[in-house]
Amino acid sequence: MIGPSQKRSLIWAMVHVAGIAGLVALATTARVQGQEDAGQVAETASEAFALNCFSPFMTAARAAEVLEAPGVRVDFYDLDPFSDAAPSPVTGRAATTGTDRRCEVAFDGEYGDFAASAAVAGLEAEGIRTEAPIPDRYRPTEGTALLGARQLNPRRVAVVHVGTRPGPNGIETFLLVERLMPIAP
């Protein structure tokens, strides 16, 4: 038989263990929820990129409407639109030399292979299938999951780069397509 002081100690120990178990369960739930949220952001951003960034009629206003979402960073410019839309100036990173358009999304986490699959699906959906040489200024980086160039028309090439890189909150996944300046006839 245990005495009253031993009983109190045993009860305190059980409460303490239960409390720790509860904290571990809470932390695990929060981590899983965070991973689910991050996965949802990755899915939403990758799908939005695939559905919109290959469209020749994308504008900065449209990019803000369909690409921007909580947890998604967007970089878009179009200095020479295919439509009668006004040019969209460079507002994010400096324009890549030799390009007149960039459509990029980035988000926290390592989802390079998933994002690459979405980008390929977007190219297919737009009917952009003809491969082109990748210009020398584009190089794979450590986290590259996809780097390729596609012929848009006889004078235009687009370069698609998808992968992971250091971001503002750790590793981020990025999907970008840049349209090169027209090739002289």
Stronger pLDDT, 4 or 111, i.e. the higher one? 111
Strand order in the sheet with 156-167: 72-78, 99-108, 170-180, 156-167, 143-153, 131-132
- Res 55: pLDDT: 92
- Is 24 a residue whose pLDDT tops 90? no
Q: Are residues 60 and 88 in contact, defined by beta-carbon separation less than 8 angstroms? A: yes
Structure token pair of residue 40: 């949802």
Q: Does the predicted TM-score (pTM) go above 0.85?
A: no
Amino acid in the structure at residue 87: P
Q: Give the pLDDT of residue 141.
A: 94
Task: Tell me what pLDDT residue 36 has.
Answer: 61
> Strand, helix or coil at 68?
coil
Mean pLDDT over 34-49 rounds to 87
Q: Is the pLDDT of residue 12 over 60?
A: no
Evaluate whether 171 touches 165 at the Cβ level (below 8 Å): yes
Whether 5 has a pLDDT exceeding 50, the answer reads no
88 touches 102 (CB < 8 A): no
- E-assigned strand segments in 42-185: 72-78, 99-108, 131-132, 143-153, 156-167, 170-180
Strands 156-167 and 72-78: unpaired
Answer for the pair 175, 109: CB distance below 8 angstroms, yes or no. Answer: no
Stretch 71-94: mean pLDDT: 92
Joined together, the tokens standing for residue 3 give 């005495």
DSSP summary character for residue 135: P
pLDDT the model gives residue 15:
36
Residue-averaged pLDDT of the chain:
84
Residue 113 has pLDDT above 90, yes or no: yes
